[in-house]
Chain A
Amino acid sequence: MNIGFIGFGTMGRPMAEHLLKAGHGLRVWSRRNASADFAVALGAQRCDSVRDVAGGSEIVCTNVTGSADVEGLAAQLAEGLAPGAIHVDFSTIAPSAARRVAALHAARGVDFVDAPVSGGGVGARGATLAIMWGGKAALAPRLAPIFSLLGKTVVHVGDSGAGQVAKACNQMVMVAAIAACAEAARLAAAAGVDFTLVRQAMLGGSAGSRVLDVFGGRMASRDFAAGVEARLHHKDYALLMDEATRIGAPLPVSASVWQQLNALMARGWGAQDTSSLLRVLETARPDRAR
């Protein structure tokens, strides 16, 4: 299949590699040529413009940062996409922005699929992502060959925007769990107890979770450099809290977690892992920090 691909960051690059290695023809474009060199080396065709990517593709995938980026790309893709083509966006953006892009494409007979993913760089490289998508159910057979190369769990959540709603829920549950781990680590240390052992004990019980394993592990070893950049979670919170305000849904726990993320940004740890929420708590009692 001829597939367009734009956006080769931590997530996009390994995803594009999977598609190329499975034998798909990839049409690529990037703002900086160097970002797409790896794809060209694997046989991808470099295009001169976003519109050019759209021209020869049945499906175009985008994987960028914010709502404005996706809307900007969609406007250019719309000029080139043929009726019947599909634009699949893997970025995490506002559900309302996803719905606007869907409407833009629908006017030209092009389908839009919002397909945000969870699993991070590790999931992207291992093709084990959780993909949650919104769009017409009838598109599933055409999307399956692509999704199956990228992820392990693929769920059609509903109409346009539903994938982004699912991703917002995913971020809420995950980051609140990271914040809870940080508080447990803080309480343990302040009480003079080794969090490494507390975590080990908890992993075997009802509080065991993937977040406690991965992010709790980073807190225990005080390895804040690796993993997910906290600024991306911070960005996601602006989206989901805005959505909550729009709908009139109270999210008291998320609002509180959001403020901890604000403090994390202010302390200058936005480019480090979200397990840095532990260091935000330690700011209040630096004398006791290990």
Chain B
Amino acid sequence: MKVGFIGLGLMGRPMALHLEKAGHELHLWARRPESLAPFAKVNAKIHATPADVAAHAEVVVVMVADAPDVENVCLGENGLASGGKAGLIVVDMSTINPNAARTIGQRLAAKGIEFVDAPVSGGETGAINAALTVMVGGTPAAFEKVRPLLEKMGKSVTLIGDSGAGQVAKACNQILTGVGVLAVAEAFNFAAKSGVDAGKVREALLGGFAYSKILENHGQRMLDRNFKPGFKAWMHQKDLRIVMEEAHRMGLMLPSAAATAQVFNAIVGSGMGENDSISALMLLEKMSTAQE
């Protein structure tokens, strides 16, 4: 299949390469030309604008930072909408506000272009190993058309519901992972400040009802004091901002997510935004230690 791909960052690059390896013809555009270097020796055609990519592809995958970027790539000057033929499917795998996804979907639909939101969970490791969890919102027909592509990038691919439903699922995922990482960090800091070995606590808890992947994986990285990303703290801050915006719009009380979002504000404000989100532990340690 002729597949367009826009957004060749940490996540997008390995994802696009999986598609190429599976025999698909890539059509690429990048804001920064250096992002295209890894594609010099593979079956990929480089274009001058997103519109050109859209004109040459049956499906275009988008993997960028936030809603304004998605909107710009899709509907901006020389965007996908200005080059895409009716019947084109745009698969947005970025994490953006569900309501923004629905709006972009409606505006593309007016031009005969189908929009599917398909945000992912699993981080850079998941992207490299083609082991992402993909949460999809869109029509069943469009889902069936793009499913073979998504399965080359992800291990678990689920149609959640209509347009925006994938982003809702991702928002739920970020509530659980954000609050979860903070809970593990709080427990470890509590143990350490009580003079107890957090590693032993983790080991014991893994066998009980407090077991979680976050306790297992993120917890281990906290014990190893390996704060390299993984998943950057500023991205978790951004995702929780989306969650809280939606809660505000709908009038939903999310007390734990709200408190967690403030901890992520503090992490980013303290200059640790480029670290992994397990840096929550460092923040708690700092805030529970007397000033020198």
On A, residues with C-beta under 8 Å from B are: 234, 237-238, 241-242, 244-245, 247-252, 255-256, 258-260, 262-266
Q: Contact residue range for chain B?
A: 20 to 34
Those 6 A-B pairs whose CB atoms lie nearest each other, nearest first: A248-B269, A265-B251, A266-B251, A250-B266, A255-B258, A248-B268
Whether the pair A266, B259 counts as a contact (CB closer than 8 A) is: no
Q: List residues 238-289 of chain B with CB under 8 A from any CB of chain A.
A: 241, 244-245, 247-248, 250-255, 258-259, 261-263, 265-270, 273
- Which A residue's beta carbon lies closest to that of B240? A245
The answer to whether B163 has its CB under 8 Å from any CB of chain A is: no
Whether the pair B258, A263 counts as a contact (CB closer than 8 A) is: no
A-B contact list, 24 entries, CB within 8 Å = A237-B248, A241-B244, A244-B262, A244-B265, A245-B237, A248-B265, A248-B266, A249-B265, A249-B266, A249-B269, A252-B259, A252-B262, A255-B258, A255-B261, A256-B255, A258-B258, A260-B253, A262-B247, A262-B248, A262-B252, A262-B253, A262-B254, A263-B253, A266-B251
Cα separation A249 to B263 with both chains bound (whole Å): 9
Whether the pair B241, A245 counts as a contact (CB closer than 8 A) is: yes
- Residues in B with CB closer than 8 Å to A248 are 237, 265-270, 273
Whether the pair A259, B265 counts as a contact (CB closer than 8 A) is: no
Whether the pair B251, A245 counts as a contact (CB closer than 8 A) is: no
- Residues in A with CB closer than 8 Å to B241 are 242, 245
Whether the pair B269, A256 counts as a contact (CB closer than 8 A) is: no
**Contact pick for A250, options B244, B247, B253, B263, CB 8 Å:** B263
Whether the pair B269, A234 counts as a contact (CB closer than 8 A) is: no
**Contact pick for A262, options B237, B251, B265, CB 8 Å:** B251
- Residues in B with CB closer than 8 Å to A252 are 259, 262-263
Q: Closest CB of chain A to B78's CB: distance in Å?
A: 25
Whether the pair A247, B248 counts as a contact (CB closer than 8 A) is: no
Cα separation A260 to B263 with both chains bound (whole Å): 19
**Contact pick for A234, options B248, B253, B255, B273, CB 8 Å:** B248
- Which B residue's beta carbon lies closest to that of A234? B248
- Residues in A with CB closer than 8 Å to B252 are 262, 266
Whether the pair B262, A259 counts as a contact (CB closer than 8 A) is: no
Cα separation A260 to B252 with both chains bound (whole Å): 9
Bitwise interface map of B from 218 to 250 toward A, beta carbon under 8 Å scored 1, else 0: 000000000000000000010001001101101
Q: Closest CB of chain A to B163's CB: distance in Å?
A: 24
- Residues in A with CB closer than 8 Å to B253 are 259-260, 262-263, 266
Given A258-B248, A259-B253, A262-B253, verify A247-B258 contact (CB < 8 Å).
no
Whether the pair B258, A245 counts as a contact (CB closer than 8 A) is: no
Cα separation A255 to B241 with both chains bound (whole Å): 12
- Residues in B with CB closer than 8 Å to A259 are 247, 253-255, 258
- Which B residue's beta carbon lies closest to that of A248? B269
Q: Which of B245, B253, B255 lies at the interface centre, i.e. has the most chain A CB atoms within 10 A of its CB?
A: B253
- Residues in B with CB closer than 8 Å to A250 are 262-263, 265-266, 269
Q: Closest CB of chain A to B252's CB: distance in Å?
A: 6
Cα separation A245 to B261 with both chains bound (whole Å): 8
- Residues in A with CB closer than 8 Å to B269 are 247-250
- Residues in B with CB closer than 8 Å to A247 are 265, 269
- Residues in A with CB closer than 8 Å to B270 are 248
- Residues in A with CB closer than 8 Å to B244 are 241, 258
Cα separation A247 to B268 with both chains bound (whole Å): 9
Q: Closest CB of chain A to B182's CB: distance in Å?
A: 12
Cα separation A263 to B255 with both chains bound (whole Å): 10
Q: Which of A237, A256, A262 lies at the interface centre, i.e. has the most chain B CB atoms within 10 A of its CB?
A: A262
Cα separation A250 to B259 with both chains bound (whole Å): 9
Q: A259-B255, A263-B251, A265-B251 are in contact. List 11 more A-B contacts (CB 8 A).
A: A242-B245, A245-B237, A248-B266, A248-B268, A248-B269, A248-B270, A252-B262, A255-B258, A259-B254, A260-B253, A262-B253
Whether the pair A245, B265 counts as a contact (CB closer than 8 A) is: yes
